[in-house]
Structure 1
């Protein structure tokens, strides 16, 4: 997605960049930790043919400002509310990946009138288990190690090695692995790294994820939710999807085979089909979306 398609809104003195594309019922795509709107590039292209798609770069990420301040999931949820207010959007379907799923659920908890339904993709906030690498990143002193690990010299060597392994068949560099590598490289930038650490430490410690949304689902028994996961996700285990389904009577779970932490990028066509079925089951049809 070309950066010149990004629009800008100033919220509390800081610039937030976002994509606003298409017409119809509103779908908000919320990226994860170290991510950006570009994590949703296939979905922006396909969904904007039927819906109005809003895809922000959260503060501290992508092309948006990276101020010193609050990077908790509640702060990110408030940013989404403020963006919707600015765009005069009363409510929307929220689609959140990884940390973005946690932000979507926090938005539901804080501002339930703004959330029509949820689609959670490899979502955080549904159980304690998380990648050891993310747990390690929250430890004291990690701010001194991360610049070395994310340096261009080291990432170039790693990328070339992975590409070689891919060519000779030792290791297949799929879309999830490629996107994870690209996202990690962003923390070579000091302001992005500081925002990453502030965000990560607000939801993760050395024991794992510290925020769990499932005890609050009893308030939202009529909520329609779709949970999408990859069966090879090594960041957040797909068993967390069952934690949500057990508490949400109207929850649907889709596990993508041979997909990693970015199942929507590993299999974008399947994601589009599953999401379309979910929206149709919720009464949002293709015909009502187009031209509305």
Structure 2
């Protein structure tokens, strides 16, 4: 059930208005969740009911996505990261656990690079050391041809390609609806921003506890790419689940939450680095 979610339209100091979902105690430890490419807060809707209510979950639609503003420019990971820090400022949150999925994981890396004091723990989901690989380059060729309105068949095929384990039909259809809110120019700009960014210099300086979480059937970033990311971050823990694709929070929400809570509570994970569970 999502009956205790709070939704607000929050204007940042920059003037940008973000649509934000919140759940849990306002004075609890803050967990900032950043969705993936063309997704929205709804990307985390399968895990929110499973979180303890003493955690304060903050789940924005990032700029250009969902019901947030869609400015003409500003779609690099650095731009998204600045929005996230301003969001924490607006909510008077000094420090948060930052959870980023796919595009959101690269934004999370940039938050740590620019404002390391604001991140207590870092969770990188469906991620890699670079967003640039044959899969994303091929996607860029397809996205370059998009026009508004972005076709439902294209969106459905794109989102289907990211999952391995089936998800509930109603949930998936809403994922498609959320992606179709994103105009073609944002599909193009956000992906170009990812592919044109060099994330490697920002990995080694990361000093907060970090969990790399993914699946062994990820068709976007292979396990070897996830492992490369974990090796680049000092002391990072990696958890790769069997028979899970690019979207662990969709495909295995219970396992996702178990891993997240174990990490947040600094408990030892049952599987060692790089070992599928």
TM-score, structure 2 normalization:
0.82
CA distance in 1, matches of 2:114, 2:169: 33
Output aligned runs, 1:176-215, within 5 Å: 183=175, 186=178, 188-189=180-181, 192-204=183-195, 210-215=196-201
Gaps of 5+ in 1: 163-171, 205-209, 284-292
CA distance in 2, matches of 1:3, 1:194: 34
Q: What do residues 145-196 of structure 1 show as CA deviations (whole Å, max 9, x unaligned)? A: x75xx424x46997xxx9xxxxxxxxx871299877754555545x622222
CA distance in 1, matches of 2:110, 2:213: 18
Structure 1 residues 18 and 277, CA gap change in structure 2 (3 angstroms): same
Instruction: Report the secondary structure of 1:63's partner residue.
Output: coil
CA distance in 2, matches of 1:183, 1:120: 21
Indicate the structure (1 or 2) with the bigger Cα radius of gyration.
Answer: 1
CA distance in 2, matches of 1:229, 1:157: 22
CA distance in 1, matches of 2:75, 2:175: 18
Residue 229 of structure 1: how far off its partner (Å): 0.9
Residue 247 of structure 1: how far off its partner (Å): 2.2
CA distance in 2, matches of 1:252, 1:45: 25
Residue 275 of structure 1: how far off its partner (Å): 1.1
Which residue number in structure 2 is paired with residue 175 of structure 1? 167
Which residue number in structure 2 is paired with residue 28 of structure 1? 32
Task: Confirm or deny: 8 A CA contact 2:34 2:59 kept in the other structure.
Answer: yes
> What count of residue pairs does the alignment treat as equivalent?
259
Aligned equivalent of 1:14, options 13, 16, 25 = 16
Instruction: Report the secondary structure of 2:20's partner residue.
Output: strand
Q: Between Structure 1 and Structure 2, which shows a larger proportion of helix residues? A: 1
CA distance in 2, matches of 1:203, 1:151: 23
Gaps of 5+ in 2: 269-277
Which residue number in structure 2 is paired with residue 151 of structure 1? 151
Task: Confirm or deny: 8 A CA contact 2:17 2:68 kept in the other structure.
Answer: yes
Residue 249 of structure 1: how far off its partner (Å): 3.1
TM-score, structure 1 normalization:
0.78
Instruction: Report the secondary structure of 1:272's partner residue.
Output: helix
